[in-house]
Chain A
Amino acid sequence: MAKYPQIKIINNEKYFFRFDMDLRIQHIILAATVVILVLSGMPLKFSDAFWSPYLYALFGGITMAPTVHKVTGAIMLLLFAYHIFWIFKVIYLDHYLPMKREGTYTIGRFAMRVLKLPMVPNLKDLKDIIDLMKYLFYYTNVRPDGDEYTWKEKFDYWAPFWGMFIIGASGLIIWNKELFTQIIPGEFINFCLIAHSDEALLAGLFLFIWHWYNVHFSTSVFPMGTVFLTGYLSEELMCEEHYEHYVKVMREEGYEKEILPPHGGGHAPSCSDHAPKSSQRQSSPENVSGTESSEQSVKEGGAAV
């Protein structure tokens, strides 16, 4: 933890710790492989499209592109294997061993502790989604105040996580169809093809529209979010997306007096000169109470990273 201070102050601006180097490298490898896999796979799925021959030619056409696709896929699967290993490592070092040391270890308690990790979806996410709907339909002017990881981020994480199983497994089967059909019937290859390509389409569209919008193209972060490179998030964005966590970290780090009011009240950051102050004031009590209620769970969960 000492290596990564929760708050870094550069030029009088606060930056909040999000991801360590290990995760950032994992993410960049994942992003690169996904882009290559999508670009070298989609021309095959949409082989009638006018653009597909040109895009495919970029990867060496039908003679080379499948090899590029397979090798990249293999790299991605290795990364996934490492990631699984990393998860177990973190849980073992940060949660299992401390519990053992404290002598509070039972399987039930351990499971509860794992389930309360900040990356695990919980009821707060559901509440946030409903709150977001209210906000988007102008029912309220209060943006939901996200925890350390918002529901969007959890979606961004778990959707590819599930996709990795489906796409990875089906890809491996298609790759080694002669071997696998010694056991499974040939019709399974049909299913694998369907699963592989359709799930890939889902993942590709999901990442390139939804994920990229949220982290790069939204007016709050446009033109590019930098947290995936630096690992630190600016105070403004921290307030907008992770207000609950922001308040907690500010308190822990002794900046209680400097806590900014939450974004809300129709306060879109891009048009900040417009924000009516009354709505900000009006929304803060709600947020504070929300923070307190879930603070306990946050403390119990602790920082996974």
Chain B
Amino acid sequence: MLSNFLRGPHWSFRALLVAFCLMPGWVLAADMGNCLLCHKYPGLSRIDEGGNMKLMFVNEDIFNTSVHSKVKCEGCHADITKIPHEPAKPVDCLAVCHIIEPTSEQKFSHKSVKTFMDESVHSKVDKEGNLKKFNEDMPTCKDCHDNPLFRPLAFVKKVRPGIADDAMGRCRVCHEKEDFIFRFYNHITTRLHKSRSPLNVAQACGKCHDDKELVKRHGLTVMAGSSYQETFHGKAANLLDEAIPDCLDCHVVKGKSVHQMYGNDDPRSSTHPDNRGAICNSIDCHPGASVQFANYQVHPMFDMDKSPVVYWFTTFFYVLTGGTLLPLMFILFFDLLRRLFPNASFTRRR
């Protein structure tokens, strides 16, 4: 595995990364309880009562490049106090963990996310505090997040993904702890850009928003993921453009958290019809575009009921393309056949 990882492009950065991962002293920083004694084995798994596969394996190398690399296992898996342990309970992401937030010197917690989420379109309860219908469809932490991984950037000469050795060298002048340098560098540069590529974001949203049943149950008008892929934005995201807008760039109010997402009918929402123009002509996107630029359908559906104009326009071109090419293919085929059997004939005119 390691050798595979080391091959391919940018191997030197990978080598560096691996070197950091294998650096003794801090590699087990999160693993105070020696959990990896067992959990380092990829086969640590079972099929649970519901027939689903449960994998208890933790890939240490990857974990150490994740944002939680400094959190002890017990920090999240708080119900585990001894080894061997009973089947672990689900992790409460809102728990106060042992990490100290350096600016406030308070213990760290994701609690604020809950307050954001409760107000957002994705909350399980409506404004009156009643449980929404099908509230079990509403996303919880792990529906969108797996363990977030660092996506470091190197700002040396130009921006490229990965870690810049020279920047690290600068850090080492004053800072001694390699793990601090590594983590701090990763944290800062990851936070300076998108923590997931636009394609991964679209996929995360698409898990639910492309689910036909779910879209229907909740009365949503579009298949958000697949229709996004029909636009230039989605196609560029498919080709791994990092700068292209993804779901969050339009659906989250600038400067707010992604967890504060509102429905299109909510005036606070960035996608409310009154606010849409401002998304498109922002300085980073299409500066100078008029407000009616935002009439552009970012979720065009090839569906006669949902967007008839797009439907008929597309159909026209489908028919034009198929109607032109298929007869030509037909002629071509018989032209070849005629060349294959030049003399065969059933109605030879004499």
Interface residues of A (CB under 8 A from B): 43-45, 47-48, 52-53, 56, 61-63, 132-133, 135-141, 159, 174, 177-178, 181-182, 185-187, 189-191, 193-195, 198-199, 201-202, 205-206, 209-210, 213, 218-219, 266-268, 270-271, 274-276, 282
Contacts and interface: CB of A to CB of B under 8 A. Distances in A.
B338 A181 contact: no
Nearest to A52: B239
Contacts, number: 142
B289 interface: yes
B300 A53 contact: no
- Interface residue SS majority, chain A: helix
B332 A194 contact: no
21 contacts: A43-B239, A62-B241, A132-B331, A136-B335, A137-B334, A138-B338, A141-B348, A178-B281, A178-B289, A181-B289, A185-B292, A186-B292, A187-B295, A191-B313, A198-B314, A202-B317, A205-B325, A210-B332, A266-B343, A268-B338, A268-B339
Given A43-B239, A202-B320, A140 B338 contact: no
B339 A206 contact: no
B240 A266 contact: no
B345 A141 contact: yes
A218 B344 contact: no
Contacts of B180: none
A181 to B, nearest CB: 4
B133 to A, nearest CB: 33
A206 B313 contact: no
B201 interface: no
Contacts of A140: 349
A264 B183 CA distance: 79
Interface of B: 229, 231-232, 234-236, 238-241, 244, 280-281, 286-290, 292-297, 300, 309-310, 313-314, 317-318, 320-321, 324-325, 328-329, 331-332, 334-335, 337-339, 342-350
Contacts of A282: 350
Nearest to A43: B239
A53 B343 contact: no
Contact of A48 (B229, B292, B348): B229
Nearest to A189: B296
Given A190-B300, A191-B313, A178 B288 contact: yes
B229 A199 contact: no
Given A44-B232, A47-B239, A141-B349, A194 B286 contact: no
A186 B342 contact: no
Given A178-B293, A186-B294, A53 B239 contact: yes
A138 B329 CA distance: 18
A226 B295 CA distance: 50
A181 B281 CA distance: 11
B296 A190 contact: yes
Contact of B338 (A61, A136, A199): A136
B339 A219 contact: yes
Contacts of B290: 178, 181-182
A202 B325 CA distance: 7
A138 B289 contact: no
Contacts of A182: 290
Contacts of B344: 138
Given A136-B338, A189-B296, A201-B321, 4 more contacts: A177-B293, A190-B297, A210-B325, A270-B339
Contacts of A47: 229, 234-236, 238-239
A45 B320 CA distance: 18
A182 B286 CA distance: 12
Contacts of B342: 266-268, 271, 274-275
Contact of B321 (A43, A139, A174, A198): A198
Contacts of B310: 190-191, 194
